[in-house]
Amino acid sequence: MKSIGIEDLINLVKTYKTEGLEKIRKAYDMASVLHEGQFRQSGEPYIIHPLNVAYILAEIHADIDTICAGLLHDTIEDTNVKKEEIEENFNSDVANLVDGVTKISKLNFSNKVDENMANTRKIITGITEDVRIIIIKLADRLHNMRTLQYKKHFKQVENSIETLEIFVPLAYYIGAYRIKTELEDLSLSYIKPDMYKRIEATKLKIELENKDLLLDMTNKIIRILNDSGIPNEIKIRTKNIYGIYRKVIIGQKLSEVHDLLSLKVMVDSIDNCYRTLGMIHKEYHSIDENFKDYIWNPKTNMYRSLHTTVFGPDNKLVQAQIRTFDMDKIASFGLCTYWEINNDGARDLMQKELKEKYQFFKSLIEINSMFGDNREFVNQVKKEVFSDNVYVYTPKGEVIELPLGSTIIDFAYKIHTDVGNKMVGAIVNDKYVNEYYVLKNKDRVFILTDEAAFGPRDNWIDIAQTSTAKKKIREFKIREK
């Protein structure tokens, strides 16, 4: 891994920001002094770690305060500096960010489990205060995972499991796919090293065998788009190792993985996305059941793209992901893209988007309000938010995200409290179902309500799976007493 110095960081920031560079140097100097005499298990001076965290943040065009917080992120935890000193030297934003990523003191706990649960809760709920706290933690975890070889085997596995359980879902939910996929692959390399190496070797072999085929398709599509006057760029992508592993463990053959080989086709407008789709389908036969329109119906983390799987040369399955240039940035970095769109006002825009558009955000707030015990909170988040989900549609085509195993009760209360309280049944895929019905992916759900309904039945609280539904049912019962 390339050694990063302060000048490397400054030069990277200069590519997108010319102001605030002295503030970054000041943060680096402060962190260097405070971490003087501290070393990582690799033997390197400790300052190398916060410098790399700041560099990762600069790669996604983070604002100056976030980069400063990245440089200072371990100072409250590992040195004698106080939050007030950081605020005095910088500002309240930097101080709050550093405090947000700082672990709670061990002195507050009687055992390691309670300490871990409290800190995990602090990490997860940090996003409700300032999404930049989570982004710094993701950068911190990414560099730690990149240098995990210096830890003992037990810690390697422990950190990798935690990464998959907590940090990968967080990266997914804010749309930071590049960080997510790297964290997944690094984690798998420590949890199942033999499997990782086998899949890695197979992936490299597949890439080599299909290099000419994919280049042929790329050049042909570029010619077609150029002839039609559509500005474009195409990148070749192979599914990440962990993604392939997930397919393998459920018994799927690699030849059947429709998105193993992909072409990312970027164009200049939404209209040209659909034009491009038609041109690709005219040239290559498509598999209808694998078509996804995430432009009209974005994923719940605001990912937008058209996905179509076609038969390429030699009948090889190739997925084409068609999107605008801006959609491609969001597909790679998610909410972090707002730093590029609106650097100075990005933080407020990120929080506004989270509150208004991201379904998981509301679930986190609800669960946080319901569980005082840290262990119960973390377990509920893992079960309800960070586990496998089911995606269903409202009558208007809106995608609703719910934990796997959810019923129409959960769906109804997700829509609105009154809808849940007045529900008398539902129409799913044009068939009547009762409250026991367990939702499946792509179900189309219409809730039947009656103004004269006497509210949720006594057994609904046991049928419901989500904290939101259970809470609203309890609140109704309390009001009716």
Any idea which residues carry the catalytic annotation?
A: 77-78
Q: Phi and psi dihedrals of 198, rounded to 5?
A: -65, -45
Burial of 249 (0-12, 13-18, 19+ CB in 10 A): exposed
Burial of 261 (0-12, 13-18, 19+ CB in 10 A): buried
Select from 356, 381, 402 the least CA-distant residue to 124: 381
Cα dihedral 231, 237, 243, 249, rounded to 10, equals 130
Q: Which positions ≥6 away from 345 have C-beta within 8 Å? A: none
DSSP collapsed to 3 states, 373-397: CHHHHHHHHHHHCCCCEEEEECCCC
Cα–Cα distance measured from residue 203 to residue 465, given in angstroms and rounded to the nearest whole number: 39
CB atoms within 10 A of CB 78: 15
Q: Phi and psi dihedrals of 332, rounded to 5?
A: -85, -40
Is 447 in a helix, a strand, or coil? strand
Amino acid sitting at position 425: G
Do 186 and 160 contact (CB within 8 A), yes or no? yes
Q: Phi and psi dihedrals of 452, rounded to 5?
A: -90, 5
